[in-house]
Amino acid sequence: MVNAGVIAVPMRTCGEMTMLVMSNVITLTPGTITIEAKGSPAVLYVNVLHLDDAERVRNELHQLESVCVRAFGSRSARSQLREARLP
């Protein structure tokens, strides 16, 4: 059974490079496609083909954001990510 849906994924950083890389990686992942990216505050809207748990998908995409920021992010983006992790 296919349980498709669109979820909003609020980004923890606001860097354009992070949004660009994230959008492309999501679209290259089977079963997902980025349908819109908005900034300030940054939000990605993602169509997920097998959406069983929206919160799990958001958590996985936040992990992807961490990888993208560590690989391509500016100092400012890395700082935003560290601050977002604080309780």
Contact criterion met (CB below 8 Å) for 66 and 82: no
- pTM (predicted TM-score): 0.87
Pair of tokens at residue 62: 């936040």
Confidence of residue 14 (pLDDT cuts 50, 70, 90): confident
How confident is the model over 22-79, as pLDDT tens digits?
A: 999 999 999 999 999 988 889 999 999 999 999 999 999 999 999 999 998 889 889 9
3-state secondary structure the chain: CCCCEEEEEECCCCCHHHHHHHHHHHHHCCCEEEEEEECCCCEEEEEECCCCCHHHHHHHHHHHHHHHHHHHCCHHHHHHHHHHHCC
Q: How many residues does the chain have?
A: 87
